[in-house]
């Protein structure tokens, strides 16, 4: 996924998510999108410079398999683009603490970002997360797994992100969208390979 958007690509309980000026639209995810293997991504501007994200991907694997891939925190760096470090640093049952490091470069803009994140797990349906420390003023989100009629999983990723570093908005938005698509594509591929074993 993305080190920026995912560093999980990993929001939202109503108590964690601030209200958007314009709600993030619920994107349709119909059979055509499943067949064509499309990844839907919507970005929205929120108050105080926060970017809201909502995205969907259909994965041809069971929710339990997708969960296994999402929560394999020590190995995210193996397949998530631009992620160079992913480590489980504390396991407190349903609460996990992970440390992530990613690197990205766009034109002359290059940045290494680091995060430590609380992951609140509700097996096998949802993971809520928020930054404990790192390079963002706001970094929180959720993964929601839903069994799909096509016998796979509809994975929904929602996030609210505001970097603490200065980056032009058009560059940040471009990085987010590319990283989300890249991250979800990589996650889907890993889950489908795992399912096929």
Q: Cα(36)–Cα(89) distance, rounded to whole angstroms? A: 38
Q: Which fold has domain 31-196?
A: Alpha-D-Glucose-1,6-Bisphosphate; Chain A, domain 4 (3.30.530)
pLDDT under 70: residue ranges of the chain: 1-30, 106-107, 109
Structure-block tokens of residue 88:
């489980």
Give the residue extent of every domain in the chain.
31-196
pLDDT (0 to 100) of residue 9: 47
| Res 29: pLDDT | 60
Per-residue confidence (pLDDT) for residue 175, from 0 to 100: 82
Residues in CB range of 61: below 8 A, 6 or more apart: 152, 153, 191, 192, 194, 195
Q: Going by DSSP bridges, is the β-strand pair 109-122/95-106 parallel, antiparallel, or unpaired?
A: antiparallel
For 10, 102, 106, 176, the CA distances from 170, given in Å and listed in that order, are 22, 20, 11, 10
Whether the Cβ atoms of residue 162 and residue 93 lie closer than 8 Å to each other: no
For 75, the 3-state DSSP assignment is helix
pLDDT at position 28 is 53
The tens digit of pLDDT for each residue in 53-98 reads: 999 999 999 999 999 999 999 999 998 888 999 999 999 999 999 9
């Amino acid at each position: 996924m993305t080190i920026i958007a995912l560093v999980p690509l990993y929001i939202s309980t109503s108590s964690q998510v601030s209200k958007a000026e314009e709600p993030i639209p619920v994107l349709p995810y119909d059979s055509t999108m499943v067949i064509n293997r499309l990844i839907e991504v919507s970005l929205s501007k929120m108050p105080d410079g926060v970017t809201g994200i909502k995205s969907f991907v259909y994965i041809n694997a069971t929710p339990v398999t997708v969960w296994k891939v999402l929560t394999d925190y020590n190995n995210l760096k193996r397949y998530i683009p631009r992620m160079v470090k992913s480590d489980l640093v504390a396991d407190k049952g349903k609460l996990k603490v992970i440390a992530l490091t990613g690197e990205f470069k766009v034109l002359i803009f290059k940045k290494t970002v680091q995060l430590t994140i609380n992951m609140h797990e509700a097996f096998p349906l949802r993971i809520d997360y928020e930054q404990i420390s790192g390079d963002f003023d706001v970094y929180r989100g959720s993964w929601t797994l839903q069994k799909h009629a096509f016998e796979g999983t509809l994975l929904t990723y929602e996030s609210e992100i505001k970097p603490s570093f200065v980056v032009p908005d058009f560059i940040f938005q471009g990085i987010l969208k590319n990283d989300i698509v890249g991250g979800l594509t990589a996650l889907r591929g890993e889950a489908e390979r795992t399912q096929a074993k």
